[in-house]
Amino acid sequence: MTRPDVGRIDGLTYPPGTAFMAGQYLPMSEARISVLDWGLLHSDVTYDTVHVWNGRFFRLDLHIARFRRSLEKLRLRVAYDDDALRDILVECVRRSGLRNAYVEMLCTRGLSPTFSRDPRDAANQFVAFAVPYGSVANARQLKEGLHLHLIDTVRRIPPESVDPQIKNYHWLDLVTAQFQGFDAGAETVVIKDMDGNVAEGPGFNIFAVKEGALYTPERGVLHGITRRTVFDIAERLGIEVHAGNVSEAQLRHADEIFITSTAGGIMPVTRLNDVAVGDGMPGELTRTIFRTYWDWHDDPAWTLAVDYDGADRVR
């Protein structure tokens, strides 16, 4: 049997990296699931993402705990305990050799061997992978700030329909808004909830700064680990935080705006719907939080180092 070229298969190019599925480590190009998997056909799947920066996982325990809660709510079963999950993720990164990595764990409903339509008959499928680190914002946007549009015509799926604390791929609201934003010249977007309050964007939470205090939506949004880290930084630095309803007016009158995600960290927003935020430069408080966030990535209290030279721990 010939091995396909790593990174290229069936005319498609894949990023470098290492995946784990069905008990085996594979190059990304070989990690593929069936088109019959309900994860694809019904978006019946949950996931979590964590990043590795300079060879260290950031707050991996919190990501594994959130993944575990999502699995339980969806009644998905993964055969690994928390320590085994951690070892698999570390091993994906170790084998990939990536010092800065985007690491994902997911579990799909899978498919039923008898093709029954009963989700209880499905064999759940766990997949993990490490690929090069990716960010919502590119280098220029991190320095100068993102150009964000608040989109009013598409509303976030309400929490009564899909529990936003289950990290999920129900993104048609977010993707539809993204295309509307691109048409209007935006670099990224946030959408509102059904009550007209500010919700979140494609894979990130949002914060407004007003007179030295932070304001961020609480209901109907995923409680991001980066958002949580901003709370921890704010506590350390003595900054006031209000998690609750954030109105469109509050966002439009903010002194500073930033967005938060594992994919990018703390990202300044300097234009909102074509109007400059504050003086049009990343704000003072945003920059302080940004610096502290990345400083904490070197701190053993918040991180787990990957031993790249270590022997294979998981087979």
Ligand X SMILES: *Cc1c(COP(=O)(O)O)cnc(C)c1O
Which residues of the shown chain bind ligand X in the complex (CB under 6 A)? Answer: 167, 200, 203-205, 222, 224-227, 260-262
Please tell me what DSSP assigns to residue 301. T
* CA–CA gap between residue 127 and residue 46 (Å, rounded): 11
Nearest distance, CB of residue 214 and ligand X, angstroms: 15
- Closest distance to ligand X from the beta carbon of 195 (Å): 18
- For ligand X, give the closer residue by CB, 57 or 204: 204
Distance CA 212, CA 227 (A): 17
- The least distance separating ligand X from the CB of residue 178, rounded to whole angstroms, comes to 12
Q: Which residue has 């079963």 as its token pair?
A: 77
CB of 49 to ligand X, least distance (A): 6
Please identify, using beta-carbon distances, which residue of 122 and 206 lies nearer to ligand X.
206
Burial-class residue 18 by CB neighbours within 10 Å (0-12, 13-18, 19+).
Answer: buried
- Closest approach of ligand X to the CB of residue 261, in Å: 5
Task: Give me the residue whose beta carbon is nearest to ligand X.
Answer: 224
Q: Which helix (H) or strand (E) holds 284?
A: helix 284-295
Judged by CB, which is closer to ligand X: 261, or 303? 261
CB of 122 or CB of 157, closer to ligand X: 157
Between residues 261 and 286, which has the closer beta carbon with respect to ligand X? 261
Residues 6+ apart with CB under 8 A from 263: 49, 51, 102, 134, 135, 136, 203, 204
Locus of tokens 């609750």: 244
